[in-house]
C-alpha cells in the first residue's frame, strides 16, 4: 500500500542511533591554522572525519554542500562571528550540533551562542579533555535528538497509516464508550447505513440495531466491558437511515461485528480497565444472500420452486407433532399427473417443464396459506393439509384440485388437457409417522391409476396388500423378456362364406413361473405404466411376423395375421420402425399383416400419431380398429386415418338381445361396406350368435365358438384342415 506523501515507517538502521558505528563528520571552523591541524589528532576516534575552514563564508559554503554531525566553531572569525554561522544554521533548519570555542570571556557571548542554538561553549584556553568531553556530549545529544525525531516521525507516520486504514476501510469501524455510545465512526457508515458521521456520535449502538438483535448487542457489550471475553464476534442486523425521518428505519443490513475492549488507565487504582469498545462491522449481505440461495436450493425443487421432499417431510413431522398435541387430524395427498410422459415424449422436455410449472401453480392456488404443496420429482406432487376438521375436508380439496385442472393448458403445440390421480391418507387413522402417511397416500394414488386415472381415493388397509403385489409384479415383469417368459397364442378368424380360416389374431401370454399363464389384462397396463410396453410390443412384432412368414412359406398365402399394439407404441418411432423392418425382411407388404389399435389412438390425432399410422399403411400394413363401437365412435377419423378393417366389440355379441346391439351392428356393417373395410366380429361363443351375426351382414368371425387362442402348432391344424374343424 502506498501512503500519500508519507513514508510510513523509518527503519531502525537508518536512525544513526549508535555513536560508534556510524560515520561522524566534524567541521572545524577557526582562523588559527595550527589549531586546525592539531584538533583532528586530539579528537580522533574511529569513524570520525574532519573538514576545516577559516571563515564564515567558507563555513557556509561547506555546510551547503555537506551535512555534519558536529561543528567546532570559533567565535571570532575574519569575516564575522560564529554567531553568523549559527544564524545561518537556524535559518536553514539544520540540525548539526555546534560547540562554540572562543577566547571571549564575556559571559554574554557564551549566552548569545547557546541561545542561538550552540550546544556547548568551550573557552580558550582549554584542556584537551574538556574539549573532548564537550565534543562527546554534543555528539551524544545530537544523536539522541535525531533518534527522538525519528521516533516521533515514525509515530506520526504510523498514526497517519492507521487513520488512513480506518477511514478508507470497506468496513464500518467505530469506537464506543462504556455506555455503548459512539465516540468515533469512520466514513464508511455513510454509504453502508446512510447516516452522516456526526449524527451517530453520542447515539448508542443499540439504537441502530434491529429490535430482535438488541439482546445480542447488550450481551456483547457486557462481556467486552467486564472482560469475560476479550474478542468477540456476532452477527446482527443494523438499521439503515430512513430517508424521510433521517432516523433509523425499518430496512436493515446484516453485519458480522467484531469487538475488542479499549484499555485505559484505571482511575480508581493501579493497572488498566476497559474504557470503551473498538468495533468493526462488515456488511455480509452478499454472503447472507448466497447462504439463503443455498438453503433455498437444498429445500426446494429447482423447477417449480416448491418445497422438495426434505422440506415436505420436515413440515409433515412438525404438523404431526402439533396434531398429536391438539388431538386433531391432518391429511397427506399424493398427486400424480396422468400420462405426463406423453407430453415429455411428444412435445419435448421444456414443454413438459412448462406444464409442470403450470400444474403446480394451479394446485397451489386451490390451497390455503398453511398448506404445503411439494414436488417430489418427476410428475409427483404431495400436499400437506396440516389441520382439517374432518377427512371430508381433504375430499373437498381433492375435488377443487381436479376442478382447477379442468381448463386446458396452452402449450406450444396447442392446448393440452391433463388430469391427476390423487391418493389421500389421514393422520392418525392411516399412520402416525411421516413415511407411513406418505407411503399410504402413494398406495391410494396407485389405486386410482389402476382404476382408470383422474380421480381421488382414500387409503384403505387392504390396498397395501395390492400394492405389494403390484410392486412384485412390476419387478417380475421387468425380467420376463430376458427370461423368455412371453408367448404368442393365435386365435383363428373364420369366414363363414368361404368356410376357412382367413386370419389369425396374435394374443400375448405371460408364462409366469408361479402364477402360470397370465393374460394380458393383468400386465399390459403395468407394462405401459413402467415404460416396458415398447420392448414387449417389439417382441410381439418380431415373433408374429416370423410366424406369418413361415405359414405363408408353407403355402397359406391368403392368410392374414394381426397383432395388438398399445397406444403408447404410437408415441415413439421405434415400434413402428420395427414393423416396417420386419415387413420388408419377411416380404409381407401385400396387406397380409394387420396392426390392431383402439379408437383412443385415433382420438389422439396429433400430427405425429397420424404420420406413424400412415407410415404403417404405406408399407402395406393393415390398420384394424379394435373394440369398435365401444369408444368414441366419432367416425370422422375414418376419413383421416387410413383404416383397413373394423373389429366389432364382443360386448355387442354377448348382448345381441339387448335393444342397441342390432342397430349398431347393422350400422357398422354398413360403414364397413361404405368404406370398403374388412369386418371381423369378436367374441362369438355360440352357433346362434354366429347365425344372427351372419344375417346382420357379418362374415368373418372370431370367438370361442370356433376356437380359443391356441398355440402356433395347434393353429396350423386350422389352416390345414379347416373343414374338419368348422362346425
Ligand atoms: P382384444 O384385442 O379385444 O382381444 C380379444 C380378447 O378376447 C382376447 O383376450 C381373447 O382371448 C378374448 N376372446 C376371444 N374370443 C372370445 C370369446 O368368444 N369370448 C370371450 N369372452 N373372450 C374371447 P386376451 O387374449 O386375454 O387379450 C385381452 C386383451 O389384451 C386384448 O383384447 C388386447 O387388447 C390385449 N392384448 C392381447 N395381446 C396383446 C399384445 O400382444 N399386445 C398388446 N398391446 N395388447 C394385447
Ligand atoms: Ca385385438
Ligand atoms: Ca377386441
What's the confidence (pLDDT) of residue 492?
97
**pLDDT per residue as tens digits for the range 477-499:** 999 999 999 999 999 999 999 99
Mean pLDDT of 357-375: 95
For residue 3, the model assigns a pLDDT of 37
Q: Between 3.30.450.20, 3.20.20.70, 3.90.180.10, 3.40.50.300, what CATH number should domain 169-289 receive? A: 3.30.450.20
Give the model's pLDDT for residue 163.
86
Average pLDDT for the chain? 89
Q: What are the pLDDT digits (tens) for 296-342?
A: 888 999 899 999 999 999 999 999 999 999 999 999 999 999 888 77
Banded pLDDT at 14 (limits 50, 70, 90)? very low
Tens of pLDDT, residues 119-150: 888 888 888 888 899 999 998 988 888 888 88
Residue position matching grid coordinates 574532519:
50
Any idea which ligand is nearest the CA of 630? 3
Q: Which of 681, 675, 662, 643 is nearest to 502 (CA)?
A: 681
Going from the Cα of 598 to the center of ligand 2, the distance in angstroms, rounded, reads 8
> For atom 8 of ligand 1, which residue has the closest CA?
507
Which atom of ligand 1 lies closest to the CA of 519? 26
Strand partners, 260: 278
Q: How many angstroms is it from 507 CA to the middle of ligand 1?
A: 6
Has residue 243 got a pLDDT over 90?
A: yes
Least confident stretch, 264-268, 428-432, 483-487, 708-712: 264-268
- pLDDT of 13: 38
687-697 b/e with 16+ CB inside 10 Å = b? eebbebbeebe
Average pLDDT of the residues in 195-208: 95
The CA–CA distances, whole Å, from 377 to 305, 363, 471 equal 12, 16, 20
Percentage of residues in the chain having pLDDT higher than 90: 59
pLDDT recorded at residue 11: 35
CA angle 509, 454, 655 (to 5 degrees): 55
Cβ partners under 8 Å of residue 471, min gap 6:
none
Assigned CATH topology for domain 13-150: Rossmann fold (3.40.50)
CA distance 449 to 338: 8
CB neighbour burial string for 359-378, b if at least 16 within 10 angstroms, e if fewer: bbebbbebbeeebbbbbbee
Alpha-carbon torsion (587, 588, 591, 594), positive or negative? negative
Mean per-residue pLDDT for 370-390?
Answer: 94
Q: Which helix (H) or strand (E) holds 373?
A: strand 372-377
Please state, in angstroms and rounded to a whole number, the distance separating the CA atoms of residues 436 and 432.
Answer: 7
Assess whether the C-beta atom of 522 lies below 6 angstroms from ligand 1.
no
Sheet holding 420-427, edge to edge: 372-377, 380-388, 329-337, 420-427, 455-458
Ligand 1 neighbour 566 (Cβ under 6 A): yes
- Residue 22 is predicted with a pLDDT of 65
Q: How confident is the model at residue 90 (pLDDT cuts 50, 70, 90)?
A: very high
Nearest CA to ligand 1 atom 27: 520
Pairing of strands 80-81, 97-102: unpaired
CB-ligand 1 contact for 543 (6 Å cutoff): no
Which ligand is in closest contact with the Cα of 684? Answer: 1
Compute CA 707 distance to the chain's CA centroid, rounded to the nearest angstrom: 62
**Position in ligand 1 atom list of the atom nearest CA 647:** 3
pLDDT for residue 283 is more than 90:
yes
Grid coordinates standing for 470?
A: 403390484
CB 41 within 8 A of CB 198: no
| Cis-peptide, bond into residue 304, ω within 30° of zero | no
Q: Strand pairing of 380-388 and 248-265?
A: unpaired
Q: Which helix (H) or strand (E) holds 88?
A: helix 82-91
Q: What cell was used for 79? A: 569575516
Max avg pLDDT among 145-159, 198-212, 631-645: 198-212
Q: What share of the chain is helix, strand, coil (3-state, %, to 5)?
A: 45, 25, 30
Index of the ligand 1 atom closest to the CA of residue 685: 18
Domain ranges within the chain, ordered by starting residue: 13-150, 169-289, 300-459, 492-506+533-725
Weakest-pLDDT range from 351-355, 360-364, 607-611: 607-611
- Ligand 1 neighbourhood includes 616 CB (under 6 angstroms): no
Q: Which residue has the cell 390425432?
A: 605
CA distances from 613 to 571, 630, 699 (A): 11, 21, 26
Cα 466 to Cα 137: distance, rounded to the nearest angstrom: 111
Q: Residue 223 pLDDT more than 90?
A: no
Q: Does domain 300-459 have CATH number 3.30.70.270?
A: yes
Specify the CATH number for 492-506+533-725; select among 3.40.50.300, 3.30.750.24, 3.20.20.450, 3.40.50.2300. Answer: 3.20.20.450
Between residues 486 and 473, which one has the greater pLDDT?
486
User: Which range scores top for mean pLDDT: 179-183, 486-490, 555-559?
Assistant: 486-490
Q: Please report where in the chains the cell 443494523 appears, as a residue.
A: 238
Cα 325 to Cα 97, 321, 333, 388: the distances in Å are 93, 6, 22, 14
* φ/ψ of residue 35, rounded to 5: -60, -40
Q: What confidence score (pLDDT) does residue 221 get?
A: 86
pLDDT tens for 603-650 read 776 788 889 999 999 999 999 999 887 765 556 677 778 899 999 999
Amino acid at each position: 500500500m502506498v501512503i500519500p506523501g508519507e513514508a510510513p515507517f523509518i527503519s531502525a538502521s537508518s536512525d544513526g542511533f549508535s555513536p560508534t558505528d556510524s560515520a561522524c563528520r566534524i567541521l572545524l571552523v577557526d582562523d588559527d591554522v595550527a589549531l586546525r591541524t592539531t584538533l583532528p589528532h586530539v579528537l580522533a576516534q574511529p569513524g570520525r572525519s574532519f573538514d576545516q575552514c577559516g571563515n564564515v563564508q567558507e563555513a557556509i559554503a561547506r555546510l551547503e554542500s555537506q551535512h555534519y554531525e558536529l561543528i567546532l566553531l570559533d567565535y571570532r572569525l575574519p569575516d564575522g562571528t560564529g554567531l553568523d554561522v549559527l544564524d545561518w544554521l537556524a535559518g536553514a533548519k539544520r540540525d548539526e550540533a555546534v560547540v562554540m570555542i572562543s577566547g571571549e570571556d564575556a559571559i554574554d557571548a557564551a549566552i548569545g551562542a547557546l541561545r542561538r542554538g550552540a550546544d556547548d561553549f568551550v573557552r580558550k584556553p582549554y584542556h584537551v579533555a574538556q574539549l573532548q568531553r564537550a565534543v562527546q556530549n554534543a555528539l551524544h545529544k545530537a544523536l539522541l535528538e535525531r533518534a527522538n525525531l525519528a521516533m516521533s516521525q515514525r509515530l506520526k507516520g504510523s498514526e497517519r497509516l492507521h487513520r488512513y486504514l480506518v477511514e478508507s476501510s470497506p468496513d464500518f469501524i467505530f469506537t464506543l464508550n462504556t455506555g455503548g455510545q459512539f465516540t468515533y465512526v469512520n466514513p464508511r457508515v455513510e454509504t453502508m447505513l446512510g447516516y452522516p458521521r456526526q449524527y451517530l456520535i453520542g447515539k448508542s449502538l443499540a439504537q441502530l440495531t434491529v429490535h430482535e438483535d438488541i439482546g445480542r448487542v447488550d450481551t456483547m457489550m457486557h462481556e467486552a466491558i467486564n472482560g469475560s471475553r476479550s474478542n468477540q464476534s456476532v452477527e446482527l442486523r443494523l438499521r439503515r437511515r430512513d430517508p424521510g425521518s433521517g432516523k433509523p428505519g425499518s430496512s436493515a443490513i446484516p453485519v458480522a461485528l467484531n469487538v475488542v475492549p479499549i484499555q485505559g488507565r484505571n482511575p480508581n487504582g493501579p493497572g488498566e480497565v476497559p474504557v470503551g469498545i473498538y468495533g468493526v462491522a462488515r456488511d455480509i449481505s452478499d454472503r447472507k444472500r448466497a447462504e439463503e440461495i443455498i438453503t433455498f436450493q437444498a429445500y426446494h425443487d429447482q423447477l417449480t420452486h416448491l418445497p422438495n421432499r426434505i422440506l415436505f417431510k420436515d413440515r409433515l413431522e412438525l404438523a404431526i407433532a402439533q396434531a398429536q398435541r391438539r388431538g386433531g387430524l391432518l391429511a397427506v395427498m399424493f398427486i400424480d399427473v396422468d400420462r405426463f410422459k406423453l407430453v415429455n415424449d411428444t412435445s419435448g422436455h421444456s414443454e413438459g417443464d412448462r406444464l409442470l410449472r403450470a400444474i403446480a401453480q394451479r394446485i397451489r392456488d386451490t390451497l390455503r396459506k398453511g398448506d404445503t404443496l411439494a414436488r417430489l420429482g418427476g410428475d409427483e406432487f404431495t400436499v400437506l393439509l396440516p389441520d382439517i376438521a374432518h377427512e371430508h375436508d381433504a375430499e373437498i380439496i381433492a375435488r377443487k384440485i381436479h376442478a382447477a385442472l379442468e381448463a386446458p393448458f396452452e402449450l406450444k403445440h396447442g392446448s393440452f388437457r391433463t388430469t391427476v390421480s390423487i391418493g389421500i391418507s389421514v393422520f392418525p387413522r392411516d399412520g402416525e409417522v411421516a413415511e407411513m402417511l406418505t407411503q399410504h397416500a402413494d398406495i391410494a394414488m396407485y389405486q386410482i391409476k389402476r382404476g382408470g386415472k383422474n380421480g381421488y381415493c382414500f387409503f384403505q388397509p387392504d390396498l397395501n396388500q395390492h400394492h405389494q403385489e403390484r410392486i412384485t409384479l412390476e419387478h417380475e415383469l421387468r425380467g420376463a423378456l430376458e427370461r423368455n417368459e412371453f408367448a404368442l397364442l393365435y386365435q383363428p378368424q373364420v369366414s363363414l362364406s368361404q368356410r376357412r380360416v382367413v386370419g389369425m389374431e396374435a394374443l400375448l401370454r405371460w408364462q409366469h413361473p408361479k402364477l402360470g399363464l397370465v393374460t394380458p389384462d393383468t400386465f399390459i397396463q403395468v407394462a405401459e405404466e413402467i415404460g416396458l410396453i415398447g420392448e414387449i410390443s417389439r417382441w410381439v412384432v418380431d415373433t408374429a411376423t416370423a410366424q406369418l412368414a413361415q405359414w405363408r412359406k408353407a403355402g397359406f398365402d391368403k392368410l392374414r395375421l394381426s397383432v395388438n399394439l398399445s397406444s403408447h407404441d404410437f408415441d415413439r418411432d421405434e415400434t413402428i420402425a420395427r414393423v416396417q423392418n420386419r415387413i420388408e425382411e419377411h416380404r409381407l407388404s401385400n396387406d397380409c399383416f394387420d396392426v390392431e389399435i383402439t379408437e383412443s389412438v385415433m382420438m389422439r390425432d396429433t400430427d405425429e400419431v397420424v404420420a406413424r399410422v400412415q407410415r404403417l399403411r404405406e408399407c402395406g400394413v393393415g390398420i384394424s380398429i379394435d373394440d369398435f363401437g365401444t369408444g368414441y365412435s366419432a367416425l370422422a377419423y375414418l376419413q383421416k386415418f387410413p383404416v383397413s378393417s373394423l373389429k366389432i366389440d364382443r360386448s355387442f355379441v354377448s348382448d345381441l338381445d339387448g335393444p342397441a346391439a342390432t342397430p349398431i351392428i347393422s350400422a357398422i356393417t354398413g360403414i364397413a361396406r361404405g368404406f370398403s373395410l374388412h369386418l371381423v366380429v369378436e367374441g362369438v361363443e355360440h352357433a346362434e350368435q354366429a347365425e344372427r351375426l351372419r344375417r346382420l351382414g357379418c362374415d368373418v368371425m372370431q370367438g370361442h365358438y370356433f376356437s380359443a387362442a391356441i398355440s402356433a402348432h395347434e393353429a396350423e391344424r386350422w389352416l390345414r384342415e379347416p373343414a374338419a374343424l368348422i362346425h
